[in-house]
Chains A and B, each alone.
Chain A
């Protein structure tokens, strides 16, 4: 489309990008400035925000240490657990599955990701709940097993919810793998296991890194899974935020936590990018 005289061209360009710019400014930049300002304020007596300039909210972050601890421990563990389940599936899809069924099998992995996480997570509430698996265990004589509202349940929910997001990037990088390398390795007398560790695994690392980064970043802001499967006992930062804003109406403290969460996300993104560059140069992943 670059075929108008210069000034005209500029006007058209400005007209094209201005709605999105306004949107980004009003609903992203401005709100961010607002929560940063709020984070240095005080809670008004009746709840909400009162202007001030204090670092008290940040100094108080420790009072939500449990939420930070749970998030910062369970997000990477969850991502790693996802990886352990996802890798064999991605490997099977990319290397072993017959070409005839590959597309179907890949689609079947992606479909759950594009359906409601809320619905998929609450299904686990009754699988793990008193009338689900514990009920079945009682029938064979194992009593008083509590599965719901435990860190284990949250971890299971995480693996379940984010598995497709881990499988896809690994599948993409394994699919690009040159089969001739595997044949050459075998021809040179390498056993399957050493071919895997010497060739397949290293070449799939970019996908592994993308998957770990995506899942970890999304998990840092997770709310639904800990809320439904942790029953308010396994609090994440997201749950603390909902609590602070919608229940105790402590907006300044909530803002300080939100700002901290964004800082953590940014740090994770930067680390992920650094590692990605080191491993193989960045790679775009088609998640759709």
Chain B
């Protein structure tokens, strides 16, 4: 049994180890290790297309996770105050946002946005006073919006779970002592749900940062890191891609460790 479990762990980690190992390969070849070198990290960091994609991914992930953290938390608090029916509708929609395959979310967003742009752009052009009317198009905005959908669902679920386990008595005590609802929120509720909001933010960030398929549909001419990596893989894996991949792995690992640490707070509190 022990041998079997060891084998599974080897199975899980060998591919990751190979990616990391070959990112330090001196040669170009992705299969023969010819010596240790960090040159591919240098090449990756000097690659402007790659750095632009990385910057896009960071901006998108940060914005959509930020929106998700704020609006998702608001929704989680608001849902507590809704009637049973409205709450069920919300629960259903959030569940749908998570269960519906990313490929379908990407397509549906693409189709809807193209329709909306086709309708709105002539209108803007008609009323625009200057020569060059601004045109809405796919890009940052559409990726952030599409990512925002499921990251918001994620944050709402995490924060809602935390709120459900919150002690009511302390909230009531606060209001008995004539604290305004806002003061109660700021001094009693917020500090207790803050770790789960942060955890939700970090998970949302990781999801958005790692997402390939949704961005693939709604990115327009913008490139994110996963789209760049995917395109490069099709041209043939190079140690440069391994170097990027290793950096991505280390980054998402770091974020996950922090998120898990924050979520553990809820059991110790």
Which residues on A are within 8 Å of B, measured CB to CB? 1-4, 9, 12-17, 19-21, 23-24, 26-32, 34-35, 38, 48-49, 85, 88-89, 91-93, 96, 107-109, 111-112, 114-120, 122-127, 129, 131-132, 135, 160, 163-164, 217-218, 220-224, 228, 237-238, 241-242, 245-246, 251, 254-255, 258, 261-262, 265, 269, 288
From the candidates B71, B110, B260, name the one contacting A20 in the complex (CB within 8 A): B71
Bound CA–CA A34/B102 (angstroms): 16
A28, B199: Cβ atoms closer than 8 Å: no
From the candidates B4, B108, B199, B245, name the one contacting A35 in the complex (CB within 8 A): B108
From the candidates B15, B105, B111, name the one contacting A160 in the complex (CB within 8 A): B15
B44 within 8 A of A: no
A64 to chain B, nearest CB (A): 14
Across-interface contacts of A246 in B (CB, < 8 A): 216-217
What 4 pairs between A and B have smallest CB-CB spacing?
A221-B101, A16-B78, A31-B108, A123-B15
B93, A17: Cβ atoms closer than 8 Å: no
Bound CA–CA A21/B152 (angstroms): 11
From the candidates B74, B97, B213, B256, name the one contacting A16 in the complex (CB within 8 A): B74
B191 to chain A, nearest CB (A): 14
A10 to chain B: closest residue by CB: B81
Per the 8 Å Cβ criterion, residues 135-175 of B in contact with A are 145-146, 148-149, 152, 156, 158, 171, 175
B84 within 8 A of A: no
Q: A16-B77, A125-B237 are in contact. Are A23 and B100 (CB under 8 A)?
A: no
Across-interface contacts of B256 in A (CB, < 8 A): 111, 114-115
B74, A17: Cβ atoms closer than 8 Å: yes
Q: Interface with A: B6-14, B47-55, B125-133, which one?
A: B6-14
B58 within 8 A of A: no
A169 to chain B, nearest CB (A): 16
From the candidates A49, A132, A255, name the one contacting B31 in the complex (CB within 8 A): A132
Bound CA–CA A35/B113 (angstroms): 11
B1, A114: Cβ atoms closer than 8 Å: no
Across-interface contacts of B156 in A (CB, < 8 A): 20
B107 within 8 A of A: yes
B189 within 8 A of A: yes
B19, A119: Cβ atoms closer than 8 Å: yes
Bound CA–CA A203/B87 (angstroms): 32
A288, B108: Cβ atoms closer than 8 Å: no
Q: How large is the interface on B (under 10, 10 to 19, 20 to 34, 35 or more residues)?
A: 35 or more
Can you identify 30 A-B contacts, CB atoms within 8 angstroms?
A3-B181, A3-B184, A14-B78, A15-B78, A16-B77, A17-B79, A20-B156, A27-B145, A28-B108, A30-B112, A34-B112, A35-B112, A85-B8, A88-B1, A107-B260, A111-B253, A112-B12, A112-B16, A115-B16, A119-B19, A119-B245, A122-B233, A122-B245, A123-B16, A160-B15, A163-B8, A242-B103, A255-B107, A261-B101, A288-B203
A31-B112, A115-B248 known; 4 other A-B pairs, CB under 8 Å? A1-B185, A27-B145, A221-B102, A241-B107
Across-interface contacts of B8 in A (CB, < 8 A): 85, 88-89, 163
B223 to chain A, nearest CB (A): 14
Bound CA–CA A118/B14 (angstroms): 15
A244 to chain B, nearest CB (A): 9
B19, A238: Cβ atoms closer than 8 Å: no
From the candidates B71, B78, B110, B185, name the one contacting A23 in the complex (CB within 8 A): B71
A116, B245: Cβ atoms closer than 8 Å: yes
Q: Which of A21, A107, A124, A132 lies at the interface centre, i.e. has the most chain B CB atoms within 10 A of its CB?
A: A21
B87 to chain A: closest residue by CB: A17
A242, B216: Cβ atoms closer than 8 Å: yes
- Chain A facing B: main interface SS: helix
A171 to chain B, nearest CB (A): 12
B113 to chain A: closest residue by CB: A31
A120, B15: Cβ atoms closer than 8 Å: yes
B1 to chain A: closest residue by CB: A92
B103, A116: Cβ atoms closer than 8 Å: no
From the candidates A1, A17, A48, name the one contacting B181 in the complex (CB within 8 A): A1
Bound CA–CA A284/B240 (angstroms): 41
B184, A1: Cβ atoms closer than 8 Å: yes
From the candidates A30, A96, A114, name the one contacting B206 in the complex (CB within 8 A): A114
B123 within 8 A of A: no
Across-interface contacts of B249 in A (CB, < 8 A): 115-116, 119
A227 to chain B, nearest CB (A): 9
Bound CA–CA A260/B98 (angstroms): 18
A89 to chain B, nearest CB (A): 5
Q: A20-B71, A116-B249, A120-B16 are in contact. Are A223 and B213 (CB under 8 A)?
A: yes
Q: A88-B4, A228-B233 are in contact. Are A261 and B104 (CB under 8 A)?
A: yes
B158, A288: Cβ atoms closer than 8 Å: yes
From the candidates A34, A48, A241, name the one contacting B103 in the complex (CB within 8 A): A241
Q: A3-B181, A20-B152, A119-B229 are in contact. Are A31 and B93 (CB under 8 A)?
A: no
A265, B101: Cβ atoms closer than 8 Å: yes
From the candidates B2, B30, B78, B253, name the one contacting A17 in the complex (CB within 8 A): B78
Per the 8 Å Cβ criterion, residues 38-90 of B in contact with A are 70-72, 74-75, 77-82, 90
B230 within 8 A of A: yes
